[in-house]
Amino acid sequence: MHNRDYLLMLRILSAILDVFFPRTCPACGRLLEEHDAICEECLTRLDRTQQALYRDNVVETIFKGEQHFSYGGSWLWYQKGTYLQKMIHLAKFGRGNPLWLEQMGREAAKEWNEYGFFDGIDVIVPIPLHPKRLRIRGFNQSEAIVKGMSDVLNIPMDTDHLTREVNNKKQSQSSKVEREHLKEGLFKVNHPEEWYGKTIMLVDDIITTGSTFRAAMHAMKDVYNCKIVVFSLAKSK
Ligand SMILES: [Zn+2]
């Protein structure tokens, strides 16, 4: 099933279920508001990085010098044993909640829009998932985040231009250096000329080493005169 149809179906199903079974916050057990997947209080308690306020933040340091890279940031700190880790972990194993990710995307967009972080961005691009992974997880978590952001910011989501190439070698069987190398050529930009001169924000759930973003930037090297902004929901500490 197409990712977007899947998300729509989930939303409808969840709205029907709400009538009969009131939902509770997965982090604390409180009753949830109609459109929420996590309660206000737990949202407030998430560990903000405030990177939107600082240039040369940790994320920018990772990508400094990459072609077309302009600026970036992660909304939250990702740490072991937290509610955030639990939710992202569930998503990785196909038991995640895209509505939760959408809500996180909306909240991040509202907060950082106040700081002007998204000013001048033409399109938002979720990092595509490998088709095999997409089958396991049922949805692309980056796309769910971008859906929420795009709704708040009124900036279109673009899932057409950046695509993931199929690689046959198992990543887990290769060394770390080799893995980095494999990630070159992992993505492809279709019709790069349509992105010429645009400011493009790439979005993923977590930044750890930054190698996935770097591979996407590598694929974008021939997109003449573009600017790349990087955003992730969280950054591992
Ligand atoms: Zn809660």
- Encoded tokens for 141: 């978590």
Residue 146 Cα to ligand 1 midpoint, Å, equals 23
Report yes or no: 233 and 74 within 8 Å, Cβ to Cβ: yes
**Measured distance CA(180)–CA(209) in Å, rounded:** 10
> Mean pLDDT by 10-residue block, N- to C-terminus, for the chain (237 residues)?
76 73 81 86 93 95 97 96 85 79 95 97 95 84 96 97 76 60 80 97 95 95 96 94
Output the CA 177–ligand 1 centroid distance in Å.
40
2.30.29, 3.40.50, 3.30.1490, 1.10.150: which CATH number matches 48-236? 3.40.50
Distance, CA 100 to ligand 1 centroid (Å)? Answer: 12
Domain ranges in the chain are 48-236
In the chain, count H helices and then E strands: 9, 6
If you measure from the C-alpha of residue 157 to the centroid of ligand 1, how many angstroms do you get, rounded to a whole number? 29
* Alpha-helical regions (H) of the chain: 3-20, 40-45, 58-63, 83-92, 98-113, 131-137, 141-153, 176-183, 211-219
Q: How far is the CA of 162 from the centre of ligand 1 (A)?
A: 35
CB 213 within 8 A of CB 127: yes
Of the candidates 72, 70, 69, 96, the residue with the CA atom closest to the CA atom of residue 84: 96
pLDDT at residue number 1: 60
Cα-to-centroid distance, 84 and ligand 1 (Å): 12
Task: State the distance from the centre of ligand 1 to the C-alpha of 32, rounded, in angstroms.
Answer: 8
Distance from the CA of 74 to the center of ligand 1, in angstroms? Answer: 22
- Residue-level pLDDT at 170: 55
Instruction: Report the pLDDT value the prediction gives residue 86, as an integer from 0 to 100.
Output: 85
Task: Measure 123 CA to ligand 1 centroid, in angstroms.
Answer: 32
